[in-house]
């Protein structure tokens, strides 16, 4: 019996020894696992996960981003910057049938480095003198160098052009469509360098100016405001290219103010008076 008890004790001591050895061998691994769990718990405490975005939060963020974005400039702003250096104020003196002095004004646009200015013929036709004012403020007398009566177009040349001439870029009216943007820059009622905006309302219109027996053909119809003083100025597309020369306006009354219908001579017709077909 004593020997059997000693044998069992020896067996348990060996088992216990093996267990302790196993525990010692696995202790580093277990410690690493516990350390990893502890680090994970500590990280979640120090750096909690963000709350999920709600639909309202997303909408608010998008709205704030859109509100802070700078919108591009309007086409009209760019058009004005492009054409303004080429704009000319035309003032004329003449006498009526009774011999009384008359002063009138209109608009024109520089179309080449030689200083040729396109305008409407009726602006300068009966003048005894022509005074030109350029975008830089310089002034010069002018002379009519070409006429195209069937289209009411004239070319005026300054006697003393400014040191820096900025010709306008001529566009292609055949590329335009009804509904396209249309811009008019001129000097209505003497308000220098004024701009109005609208759309192309029609093509191939005809128009007989008041007091004449000439019926103009192939005109561009626009709804951008045209008033006395705009005649001879440029009609522009959204890129600031000249697509026409302003001819006049239609008013069912005897009053000389705009009611929604204006006309322009296409630039490919008007430019031929100066021998300059558009690009």
Q: Which residues does the annotation mark as catalytic? A: 122, 152, 231
Q: Measure the CA angle with vertex 241, ends 259 and 135; round to 5°.
A: 85
**117 in Cβ contact with 123 (< 8 Å):** no
State how far Cα 238 lies from the chain centre.
Answer: 6
Closest CA to 124 of 140, 144, 109: 144
Instruction: Tokens for 164, please give them.
Output: 């820096």
**225 in Cβ contact with 264 (< 8 Å):** no
Residues 115, 120, 122, 126, Cα dihedral to 10°: 0
Instruction: State the Cα–Cα distance between residues 121 and 119, nearest whole angstrom.
Output: 6
Beta-ladder partners of 93: 103, 129
What is the per-residue DSSP string for 56-68?
Answer: HHHHHHHHHHHHH
**88 in Cβ contact with 107 (< 8 Å):** yes
């Amino acid at each position: 019996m004593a020997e059997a008890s000693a044998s069992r004790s020896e067996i348990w001591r060996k088992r216990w020894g093996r267990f302790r050895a196993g525990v010692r061998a696995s202790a580093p691994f277990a410690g690493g696992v516990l350390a990893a769990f502890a680090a994970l718990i500590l990280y979640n405490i120090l750096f909690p996960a963000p709350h999920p975005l709600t639909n309202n939060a997303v909408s608010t963020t998008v709205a704030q981003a859109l509100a802070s974005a700078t919108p591009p400039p309007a086409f009209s702003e760019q058009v004005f910057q492009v054409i303004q250096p080429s704009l000319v104020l035309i003032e004329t003196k003449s006498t009526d049938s009774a011999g009384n002095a008359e002063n009138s004004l209109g608009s024109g646009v520089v179309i080449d480095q030689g200083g040729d200015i396109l305008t409407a013929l009726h602006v300068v036709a009966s003048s005894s003198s022509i005074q030109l004012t350029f975008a830089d403020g310089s002034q010069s007398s002018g002379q009519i160098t070409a006429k195209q009566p069937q289209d009411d177009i004239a070319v005026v040349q300054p006697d003393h052009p400014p040191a820096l001439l900025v010709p306008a870029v001529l566009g292609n009216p055949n590329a335009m469509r009804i509904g396209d943007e249309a811009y008019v820059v001129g000097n209505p009622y003497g308000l220098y360098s004024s701009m109005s905006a609208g759309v192309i309302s029609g093509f191939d219109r005809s128009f007989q100016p008041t007091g004449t027996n000439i019926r103009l053909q192939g005109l561009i119809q626009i709804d951008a405001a045209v008033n006395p003083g705009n005649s001879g100025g440029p009609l522009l597309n959204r890129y600031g290219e000249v697509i026409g020369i302003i001819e006049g306006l239609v008013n069912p009354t005897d009053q000389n103010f705009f009611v929604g219908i204006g006309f322009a001579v296409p630039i490919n017709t008007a430019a031929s008076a100066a021998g300059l077909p558009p690009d």
